[in-house]
Amino acid sequence: MINGHVTVDAQWLDGNGTQDFWRAAENLCIVPPDGLERWAVAQAGPMRRAHIKGDLSLWPSPPGNQWSSGGFLADSVVDGQVQSGSQQQWLSRNDTFGSWTGANWNMVFVGTQGAPAQSFPTPPYTTVDRTPTVREKPFLTVDRDGRYQVFVPALRRDSAGTSWASGRADGYSIPLSRFHVARPGDSAASINEALDRGFHLLLTPGVYALASALRVSRPGTVVLGLGLATLQSTHGNSLIEVADVGGVSVAGVLLEAASAGSPVLLRVGHGRSRTRHSDNPTVLFDVYARIGGAVAGGATVSIQLDSNDVICDNLWLWRADHGNDGTVGWSVNPADTGFLVNGDRVTAYGLAVEHYQKYEVLWNGNHGRTYFFQNEHPYDVPTQSAWVHGSTNGYAAYKVADSVTDHLAWGLGSYCYFDLEANIYTDRAYEVPDTPGVVFTDLMIVCLNGPGGGGILHCVNTTGGPVENGFGTYNMKGYTNGAGS
């Protein structure tokens, strides 16, 4: 319990909260003395398992422009009112609110008590009453005798509200003695030796330069990063390879391409599989990718899911559009695809993928589900000829493969800001097969660039839009089988 504030604001950037990345708070009760808690985050800024005894503001304080672009709140209670203010988009999952006020482009509520009623696009609220299947993020605990453990919450189905509303959450604890506690400077070989001996992995805060991948092959393994533990690929290698097994948790890690040519940064499974893991799915929590921005590097794919039944809970996969000198440019931080899904029955809660150079999301598996998608097309396309495939201008931000027969998605936003004034267009933001089992609900596109920048010609396939050459939005309540509404 904190009698005070745990604050994210944006006065460091003149009130612009759109770059309040990589901040997190969890397992806290916050009692703000003035009754107002401020959490003005952008991407990769989750709050989890928190109890706010007052109101919660999600946008920056004055002065300044007070922009904000988040965000993710899960397994939390806000006794008072949540005020979204300038937030462009937001996902609330398995929360309980006194009330909610505010909307901008894409506000999504899944399994959240006290959420506003479904009303997209006026205001743009997408409300799904129950969360189909989810497991909350593991967390570190300590008892009265000073013994540390990691608690692994149980899988919940058809849920609403928090996992702890009725007291202690269901789940189990793993003593810290069963973990290899890694520190920056440890090699992949030494960490893999511990994993091979059956240990779980706790990554203490810092930057881990890895010349080869961490390999997780045992069902139920927990890989838990503290303090945004950052794994850097230094030799064109992958960073985490999870075998086609069930029950693995990968949580709280930042994956960074620190060299050229990594084929993939994190992969679950290796090739298509018929093995089902629905009773004990592998889950990725608060997993982020960064290509450029801090160091120059490239990776073809950031996250690839070949296993079935994987759950993703808050991902931000980012090909940097700004950062340190010499780390950002069309050929400096190349990256094709952020999120590649080959497995079946994969579910994503909170999927943000930005600035990749080809299909940013490519979904080949069947029975996929997405609850909240946020995207920006690449800013830095130098010429239209550099961003075409066949006769198509650009790439869809979210591509469902032509072979897919069942795919559902709720609350999607894709934006363009082509900042070189090079008249860049993408033909569509979303590309899906026209079949009855593929249904998109509550989707939108936004143009943010000025005249001469270009835009997005269609929302889905050849339907909806355009938004171009100046600020504009286009909303669509639904799309299936060739028809939008």
Active site residues: 376
> In angstroms, rounded to a whole number, what is the distance separating the alpha carbons of residues 19 and 40?
10
Q: Which two tokens stand for residue 341?
A: 């899904």
- For residue 212, the one-letter residue type is S
Residue with tokens 């029955």: 345
The C-alpha torsion from 182 through 187 and 193 to 199, rounded to 10°, is: 20
CB distance 263 to 301 below 8 Å: yes
Nearest to 124 by CA among 484, 480, 481, 477: 477
Q: What totals of helices (H) and strands (E) does the chain contain, helices first?
A: 1, 41
CB distance 6 to 25 below 8 Å: yes
> In angstroms, rounded to a whole number, what is the distance separating the alpha carbons of residues 399 and 339?
10
Cα end-to-end distance, the chain, whole Å: 47
Q: Which two tokens stand for residue 481?
A: 């089988």
Residue 323 falls in which region: left (phi positive, over 0), alpha (psi -120 to 50) or beta? left
Burial 220-247 (b: 16+ CB within 10 A, else e): ebbbbbbebbbbbbbebbbbbbbbbbbb
- Can you name the residues that pair with 153 across neighbouring β-strands? 171
- For residue 167, the one-letter residue type is G
> In angstroms, rounded to a whole number, what is the distance separating the alpha carbons of residues 175 and 245?
22
Q: Is the dihedral of CA 475, 477, 479, 482 positive or negative?
A: negative
> In angstroms, rounded to a whole number, what is the distance separating the alpha carbons of residues 483 and 273?
33
Question: What is each CA distance from 409 to 143, 256, 368, 373, 439, in whole angstroms?
Answer: 41, 28, 8, 8, 7
